[in-house]
Amino acid sequence: MPWDKLIGIKLVVLIWSWYFQPTAIIVPHQNTVRNIRQMFFNRTAKARPLTRTVILLSPDHFSPNQESIFFSDRNWTLSNGLLEYADRTGKNITSDFSRSNRLLTIDHGIYNILPEIKTYFPRARIVPLLVGERVSRKKLDALADRLSANCRWDCLVIASVDFSHYLPHALADVHDAFSLKALAAPDPDLIMASEADSPNSLYVTRKFSDLRKADNFLLFAHTNSAEIIGQRDTESTSHIMGWYRRGRRNNKFDTFTFLMTKNISGARDKPGPGERFFYGTEYVNENLTETFNLIRGLEIIPGGKASKVTREANKLTVNLGKDLAVAGIDTGEGVRIIFLPLGEISGQTYLQRGLEKTEYFDRLGIDQTGEIFIHYQM
């Protein structure tokens, strides 16, 4: 091929890949999925022509001061080389943040990600930030503005965030469906209601992508620690890996998530299922008093002491008693329903695990995974 054509094609490819390159990514810091994370980094690096700066956002796991954003201006000696601080970008972004090399050095949200940054972006320098849990919205917006002004085509924003915590795999999936929807939604505020260890880091990433007009969210992997070890009943941590880039926003994550119980009122701040049980779903009814039939093919009716599940051709009726919670994801093509056995009939209620769950499901005629799929007749 004549070299002029070759140059032309390469130029077009370069401009194309530069224009559509990932501007921000979300990665988990839990090392259970390190291999998948490495694959994701590899794909990201290939999709970016040049990365000179990385802004790493992480939850602040250890500081008692959760109102602040901390940064570190140190260089990192890693097992695979030296990773330097991006001094100029750092100064522009962190001008009035608190510096704490101490805090960032001990935070696994930071140090677990560094070897991959060094491996896959060997020319990059870094600005790591810890974003506290109670940082004001004003500060978060200001940070997104600064990132937009200082993190350009050769700069990548990485949010180091783990998603659902301490839930059985099936319920974690429901919460993650909401998180995925929020990550892809036009409104960045939605992400603040998701179940993650740093909604604030996700919000800044999402807002930055918005400002850079690169708010098309693409999913690389969705994993769960319980699934990986093959124990679905155990408490799990879930992970979402994905990119933000230019392009038309996709709506494949537009689902509707719900969670209903009959007798769990007031449990948000109490032991038992706990706060995490509820948040991260769109429709929550903690004390079912009327029939729920917002979803095609599913009817949930307040029941007696014990629940009853009836399945007809295209319809599932749940007489919801005090022994079950029902969660689900309506994808538009069908609904995935998850039954969660609860441990007490009156007073405090808790989420059962293990064998008890199997007994419940046998009695109700439900598959032992506790899940039922209804596919809509289109």
Interacting span for another protein (CB under 8 A) from 49-57, 73-81, 189-197, 306-314: 73-81
Nearer of residues 128 and 328 to another protein, judged by Cβ: 128
230 binds another protein (CB under 8 A): no
Q: Is 264 in the site for another protein (CB under 8 A)?
A: no
Does 305 contact another protein by CB under 8 A?
A: no
CB of 40 or CB of 292, closer to another protein: 40
Answer for which of 32, 38, 66, 234 binds another protein (CB under 8 A) is 66
Q: In terms of CB distance, is 350 or 376 closer to another protein?
A: 350
| Interaction pattern, residues 86-125, with another protein; x per rule: CB under 8 A | ---------xxxxxxxxx-x--x--xx-xx----------
| 3-state SS, one letter per residue, for the chain | CCHHHHHHHHHHHHHHHHHCCCCEEEECCCHHHHHHHHHHHHHHHHCCCCCCEEEEEEECCCCCCCCCEEECCCCEEECCEEECECHHHHHHHHCCCEECHHHHHCCHHHHCCHHHHHHHCCCCEEEEEEECCCCCHHHHHHHHHHHHHHCCCCEEEEEECCCCEEECHHHHHHHHHHHHHHHHCCCHHHHHHCCCCCHHHHHHHHHHHHHCCCCEEEEEEEEEHHHHHCCCCCCEEEEEEEEEECCCCCCCCCCEEEEEECCCCCHHHCCCCCHHHHCCCCEEECCCCCCECCCCCEEEEECCCCCEEEECCCCEEEEECCCEEEEEEECCCEEEEEEEEECCCCCCCCECCCHHHHHHHHHHCCCCCCEEEEECCC
In the complex, least distance from residue 122 CB atom to another protein, rounded to whole angstroms: 15
4 binds another protein (CB under 8 A): yes
Q: Which of 6, 9, 46, 65 binds another protein (CB under 8 A)?
A: 65
Residue 272 CB, shortest distance to another protein, in Å, is: 8
**CB-nearer residue toward another protein: 7 or 294:** 7
Kindly tell me which residue out of 6, 9, 10, 11 binds another protein, with binding defined by CB under 8 A: 11
Q: Which residue's CB is nearer to another protein, number 148 or number 317? A: 148
Cβ nearer to another protein, comparing 113 with 288: 113
Contact 128, 118 (CB under 8 A): no
The rounded distance, in Å, linking the Cα atoms of 176 and 195 is 7
Q: Give, as ranges, the residues between 124 and 153 that touch another protein (CB under 8 A).
A: 134, 136, 138-139, 142-143, 145-146, 149, 152
Residue 276, Cβ density class (10 Å: 0-12 exposed, 13-18 middle, ≥19 buried): middle
Could you tell me the smallest distance in angstroms from the CB atom of residue 135 to another protein? 9
Residue 64 makes contact with another protein by CB under 8 A: yes
- Report the residue from 36, 39, 47, 78 that binds another protein according to the rule CB under 8 A: 78
Which two tokens mark 146? 């600064």
Spatial separation of the C-alpha atoms in residues 292 and 279, rounded to whole Å: 19
> Of 251, 291, 293, 348, which one interacts with another protein (CB under 8 A)?
348
276 near another protein, judged by CB under 8 A = no
Question: Is position 358 an interface residue for another protein (rule: CB under 8 A)?
Answer: no
List of residues contacting another protein (CB under 8 A): 4, 7-8, 11, 63-70, 74, 76-79, 95-103, 105, 108, 111-112, 114-115, 134, 136, 138-139, 142-143, 145-146, 149, 152, 270-272, 343-351, 353, 356
